[in-house]
A = this chain, B = another copy of it.
């Protein structure tokens, strides 16, 4: 027992501030544009959707943003989360690399999403909001906002893409267990939903339609706002609590990462682990490498264009400059539902464009194989999304074995796979195949980019 496996911090060491990378950007980001006028948006344009504290964070360039006491208080349920040294995996791989993983699956929702669901619920509560609407695909985000709603006594209404609503009844039960309402989208609750159903009563829905439904309700009522679980600056800001804790935990074992690795869908878990370290690099610190891992069948950073685009298929949201496959891109049905998004967080896109983040894409079969190798060594079954980070880490550890270098590799194990066992069942039975996206499909979706 001489070698440390798990570094834990007491509650008192939950960070007091989130880290805002906007303070350290070498070049400013491109402005967010109004979808009607294509002119830069101001706070008032966003006020119908978000509480003012969130809008201020979205636009802030302060390096440190205080975490309110009630949010730290709610974080205590599972934070600080453990940082693991993957000694069994290192041994299984025969690598001299030092592999660390931050485990965000210990949260009550099983992923990193409550890190932002809780402050978003808090800020809404403070500003007198009674109800928050949102959309969810696979259900991780909806589950986390449901949990946050229970903590701050807010009504939560989740529009869940109908195909997932039917396929994943346990995610719905999870949300309802916390008192939230979960509605299959398209629904008869909204104009947007009714319009889709009038056109096609059997429509199985999409994230784009679900966003339209959630936004419609939020705009309609003064006591209701809308919340988003990734992509935006304030969401990435909230996730830095994980990276800041990790920094302190690595100090305790006297180490510093040579490479920081995370999977990227909208980008929030990657930003959460990477930005505090990337900020140090931008301020002249160690030249750590940052690797963003995405699915080969939704290759936003590796094959998308860095351009202005809408956040939704219905073109109701503002436009941001980001890596995008086009808002009309329909990702195939691979299992990492949290990575099925046509765009990427503008901050991550910007830093990738500037060369600070190195993107990489993998197919789902090699990711499941890596996830099982990890599980058998470390005891934790990762979420299919997290398997992408696991795969990249194993590849880097094998490269260390071949070169004989002992590098420190850090990745974010952003969630467990307990609600994804159907994916593992399919993989183990040999029933999973590689999902492909043709160049023609990608090119067609990109042809729909706005002329800004």
Chain A residues within CB distance 8 Å of chain B: 1, 4-6, 8-12, 14, 69, 72-73, 76-78, 88, 106, 108, 110, 147, 150-151, 169-170, 172-174, 176-179, 372, 375-381, 418-419, 421-422, 424-425, 428
Residues of the B chain whose Cβ atoms lie less than 8 Å from the Cβ of A78: 379
B424-A1 in contact (CB<8A): no
Give the docked Cα–Cα distance between A83 and B88 (Å): 26
What distance in Å separates the Cβ of A387 from its nearest Cβ neighbour in chain B? Answer: 12
A26 CB to closest chain B CB, in angstroms?
36
Identify 16 new A-B residue pairs, CB closer than 8 A, beyond the known A6-B11, A150-B375, A418-B418: A1-B14, A4-B11, A8-B8, A77-B378, A77-B379, A78-B379, A108-B381, A110-B418, A150-B379, A170-B425, A172-B425, A173-B422, A173-B428, A177-B375, A179-B376, A419-B421
Residues in B neighbouring A174, C-beta threshold 8 A:
381, 421, 424
CA distance A379 to B372 in the complex (A): 28
Copies in the complex: 2
Q: How far is the CB of A375 from chain B (nearest CB, A)?
A: 5
Q: Residue of B at shortest CB range from A4? A: B11
- On whether A10 and B11 interact (CB within 8 A), knowing A77-B378, A418-B419, the answer reads no
Q: A69 CA to B1 CA in the complex, in Å?
A: 7
Q: Would you call the interface of chain A mostly helix, strand, loop, or mixed?
A: helix
Are A177 and B5 in contact, with the CB atoms below 8 A? no
7 interchain residue pairs of minimum CB distance = A170-B421, A108-B379, A418-B418, A173-B425, A5-B76, A150-B376, A173-B421
* Given A110-B418, A147-B379, A1-B179 contact (CB < 8 Å): no
Are A376 and B178 CB-contacts (below 8 A) given A1-B76, A72-B1, A77-B5? yes
Closest-CB distance, A45 to chain B (whole angstroms) = 34
Q: Using Cβ atoms and an 8 Å threshold, which residues of chain B touch A418?
A: 110, 418-419
In the assembled complex, how far is the CB of residue A246 from the closest CB belonging to chain B, in whole angstroms?
Answer: 16
A sample of 21 inter-chain contacts (CB < 8 A) reads A1-B12, A1-B72, A1-B73, A4-B11, A5-B73, A8-B10, A8-B11, A88-B151, A108-B379, A147-B379, A169-B421, A169-B425, A170-B425, A173-B422, A173-B424, A173-B425, A174-B421, A176-B424, A177-B376, A178-B376, A419-B421
Do B11 and A1 have beta carbons less than 8 Å apart? Answer: yes
A147 and B380 CA atoms in complex are apart in Å by 9
Known: A5-B11, A76-B6, A418-B418. A380 touches B173 (CB 8 A): no
Contact B178 A375 (CB under 8 A): yes
Identify the closest chain B residue to A170 (Cβ): B421
Given contacts A170-B422, A376-B179, contact A77 B6 (CB under 8 A): yes
Closest residue to A381 on the B side, CB-wise?
Answer: B177
How far, in Å, is A163 (CB) from chain B's closest CB? 18
Minimum C-beta distance from A94 to chain B (A): 15
Of the listed residues A110, A169, A375, the one surrounded by the most CB atoms of chain B closer than 10 A to its CB is: A375
Q: How far is the CA of A280 from the CA of B38 in the complex (A)?
A: 73
Chain B min CB distance to A67 (Å): 11
> In the docked arrangement, what's the CA distance between A27 and B240, Å?
58
Taking the closest CB of chain B, its distance from the CB of A287, in whole angstroms, is: 32
Residues of B within 8 A of A106 (CB): 106
A276, chain B: closest CB distance, angstroms: 21
Chain B residue at minimum C-beta to C-beta distance from A14: B1
**In the complex, A122 Cα to B213 Cα: how many Å?**
55
Q: Is the CB of B428 within 8 A of A176?
A: yes
In angstroms, Cα B76 to Cα A202, docked, is 51
- Shortest CB distance A425–B (Å): 4
